[in-house]
Structure 1
Amino acid sequence: MSFPPVPPSTPKPRSSLRLVLVMIAVMVLGAGAGVYGFARLVLGYEAYVIQSENMSPTLAEGDRLVVRRAGDAEVHRGDLVTIDLSAYAQASHEGVSVVRVVGVPGDTVACCTDEHLSVNGKPITEPYITPGYEGLFAFSAKVPEGTIFVEGDNRGNSDDSRFSGPVRLSGVGGFVVATGTVITPKPLTPVTSFADAGLPGTPFEDTTLAGLRWWIVAGVVLFIAGFTGLIVTVVRSAGRRRRAAAAPPAH
C-alpha cells in the first residue's frame, strides 16, 4: 500500500522581536550616555566672557572661557579663578572677575625681590604676566585663614588684592580651565612657577571635560545606530509578513 508523500513543511516566519529589543536597548543606552554627559557639563561647567584686560596677555578682553564650578575643590597658587568682587576684604565693586591666585592661607605675599613677586620669601618667576610690570610698587601682606591673595596677569591694569585685600574662599566661583566653549574647548596649561620656586601644591587641572564630550558623542552615535536598526528591522519584518500573506496556500 502506498501513501501520499508528506507535504513539505512551511518555514515559520523568523521572529524579529529579539532584534527589536536589542535595537531599543542600544537606543536607551545611547540616550543614557548622552544625557549623563550633557547633565555633567551643565551642572559642572559654565561659560564666561572676560570683561577687561586685567588678565592680558594670558586672556584677552572678550575671550570666551570655560569655567569648572569650584564645589569643594581646593584652591592652589597659580590657579585661574572667577571670583565675586564683593568677596574682597575691601569690596568696592560688584560682579565677577577672573584673577590668578598667588597666595593661599598663611602665605606672606610681597613685592619685590629682584623685580619678582615673592611668596614666603621665595621669588616667583612669572612668564605669563605682562612684561614691564613685574614690580609696580612695594607691599607685603599676610594671607588670613579662609582667604586667598589674587592678582591679575596685567599687573599695571588690575584692581586686585594689592588694593582691595584678600578674597574670601567662599567667593571663588570656579576654575578657568579652557578658552572657547564646552564643545570646542582649548585647555589652558597650568602654570608651574610656584612649584618651580619650591612651594607645595599644583594648580587645578581639569581631566573631565574632554571625557564628557565623548560621552555625548558616543550617546548620539549609539542612539542613531539603534534607531536606524529599529526602523530597518520593523520594515523588513513587515515586508516578510506581506510576502507570506500574498503567497498561495499549499495543497
Structure 2
Amino acid sequence: MNTVIWMVAAAAGLALVAGLGRARRRYVVVTVEGASMEPALADGDRVLVRRRRIHQVRRGDIVVLEPPLDPSGPYQPGPPAPDGRRWNIKRAAALPGDPLPAGVAGHDGLERVPAGTMVVFGDNPDSIDSRHRGLFPADHLLGVALRKLGGPAA
C-alpha cells in the first residue's frame, strides 16, 4: 500500500514540475521601468506577459518587445534585463497591412505597415517609440501583457 501512495505522490510531483515548466515557457513577469506607459502602467509595476507571435497581437494590446537596433541613433536602450536582453513595453498601434500612422520615423513614403514589422507607441507622449525609432521588427516581440500584478516585488 505504501508503494502505491509513493507512486501516486511521485506522479503528482512530476506532473506539477512539468506544468510549471510549461507555464514558464508561456508566461513571463516583466517589471516596468520608466514612464513611457503612464498612466496605464507606472514605473515599478509588474505585469504578466503571455508569449505571442505577431499574428496573435491585436491593435491596442500592450506588448513587450526588444527595440530595433540602431547603434548610431540618439535613442539607446537602457541596461539589459537579467536575461541579457533589453525590453520595451508599448502599445501596438499598427500591425502588418494596417495603414501607417502619421509620424513614424524614417518611413514618410510608406502607406502600409510592412510584413514582419509593427508600430508601437507609449501611452505617455514623451515615450521613445516608433515616432523616434521607426518600425519595430515582429521577431523582437516577447508577448502581450495580460494584466498588471501590482507594484514592485517585495
**Is the TM-score greater than 0.5?**
yes
1:29, distance to aligned residue in structure 2 (A) = 2.5
1:72, distance to aligned residue in structure 2 (A) = 7.4
Hey, what does 1:24 align to over in structure 2? 6
**Aligned runs of 1:69-218 on 2, under 5 Å?**
69-70=51-52, 74-86=56-68, 92-94=75-77, 95-110=86-101, 142-154=112-124, 156-180=125-149
The structure in which a higher percent of residues are helix is 1
1:82, distance to aligned residue in structure 2 (A) = 0.8
Q: Is the 8 A contact 1:45 1:69 kept in 2?
A: yes
1:109, distance to aligned residue in structure 2 (A) = 3.8
1:54, distance to aligned residue in structure 2 (A) = 1.0
Is residue 42 of structure 2 the alignment partner of residue 60 of structure 1? yes
Structure 1 pair 167/141, CA: closer, same or farther in 2 (3 Å)? farther
Task: Give the whole-Å Cα distance in 2 for the aligned partners of 1:66 and 1:74.
Answer: 16
Is residue 27 of structure 2 the alignment partner of residue 36 of structure 1? no
Task: Give the whole-Å Cα distance in 2 for the aligned partners of 1:141 and 1:50.
Answer: 32
Hey, what does 1:205 align to over in structure 2? none
Task: Give the whole-Å Cα distance in 1 for the aligned partners of 2:111 and 2:90.
Answer: 17
Hey, what does 1:209 align to over in structure 2? none
SS at match of 1:43: helix
Letter in 2 for 1:93: Q
Identity between Structure 1 and Structure 2 (%): 30
1:71, distance to aligned residue in structure 2 (A) = 5.3
Hey, what does 1:226 align to over in structure 2? none
Structure 1 pair 72/157, CA: closer, same or farther in 2 (3 Å)? closer
Letter in 2 for 1:175: V
1:42, distance to aligned residue in structure 2 (A) = 2.2
Task: Give the whole-Å Cα distance in 1 for the aligned partners of 2:55 and 2:6.
Answer: 39
Task: Give the whole-Å Cα distance in 2 for the aligned partners of 1:73 and 1:142.
Answer: 16
